[in-house]
């Protein structure tokens, strides 16, 4: 069975190294292959209990790629949300965020992020902030991304856009 004890195992394998630097260890995740991605975002995503539970449902061999994509897409969504806000305030037309890419992308990484970039480009090209807002609210896209991890309330893109 997928996930047999994995959530517990993952929770049990969190390790703290030193007093000022936290390092997360998760079964199946090759830390070396996360090089090139911002370490603070990597640590933040690997500390998100919802993501960690979802990650436990993936085969061990796929987990590194899932983490790479989750980190890159979180950065992508935060950037795009910020640009949407600027668009509505200053009328500055957004651009598709550059993709944070690990030094050694797992198979499927480039294709996945290219698809996200393409769909975001279409939303921008529509020339209407409402289109980009709708894009940001799509399920399984940017909708549930925490905009600012330092925010104590951990508000998501949807919560901010919908005023919740």
Partner 1 sequence: MKMLKRIATAGVTIGLAVAVALPASAATADGSFTATCDPANYGFATNGTAYQHSTYGTISVKQTASSPQVTSSVKVTSQNGNSTPVVNVSDGATAKWTGVLTGQYKVYARSSSGVNCNGAWPGNGNYTFSYTITY
Q: Which residues bind partner 1 (CB under 8 A)?
A: 1-8, 50-51, 53-59, 65-67, 69-70, 72-73, 108, 112, 115, 119, 134, 137-141, 144
Cβ nearer to partner 1, comparing 53 with 85: 53
Rounded to an integer, what distance in angstroms lies between the CA atom of residue 37 and that of residue 1?
A: 32
Count of residues for the chain?
164
Beta-bridge mates of residue 23 = 15
Supply the minimum distance, in Å, between the C-beta of residue 140 and partner 1.
Answer: 5
- Token look-up 């997360």 returns 24
Cβ nearer to partner 1, comparing 83 with 109: 109
Helix 63-90 and helix 129-136: axis angle, to 10°?
A: 150
Residue 123's closest CA among 137, 139, 108, 144?
A: 137
Cβ nearer to partner 1, comparing 41 with 55: 55
Supply the minimum distance, in Å, between the C-beta of residue 49 and partner 1.
Answer: 12
For residue 76 the two structure tokens come to: 């992508």
Cβ nearer to partner 1, comparing 54 with 92: 54
């Amino acid at each position: 069975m997928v996930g047999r004890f994995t959530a517990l195992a993952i929770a049990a394998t969190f390790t703290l190294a030193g007093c000022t630097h936290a390092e997360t260890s998760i079964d199946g995740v090759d830390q070396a292959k996360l090089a090139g991605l911002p370490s603070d975002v990597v640590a933040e995503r690997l500390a998100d209990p919802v993501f960690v539970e979802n990650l436990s449902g993936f085969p061990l061999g796929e987990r590194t790629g899932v983490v790479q994509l989750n980190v890159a897409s979180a950065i992508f969504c935060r950037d795009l949300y910020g640009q949407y806000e600027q668009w509505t305030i200053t009328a500055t037309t957004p651009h598709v965020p550059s993709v944070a890419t690990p030094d050694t992308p797992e198979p499927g990484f480039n294709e996945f992020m290219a698809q996200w970039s393409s769909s975001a480009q279409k939303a921008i090209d529509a020339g209407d902030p409402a289109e980009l807002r709708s894009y940001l609210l799509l399920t399984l896209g940017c909708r549930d991304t925490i905009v600012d991890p330092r925010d104590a309330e951990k508000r998501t893109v949807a919560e901010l856009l919908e005023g919740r």
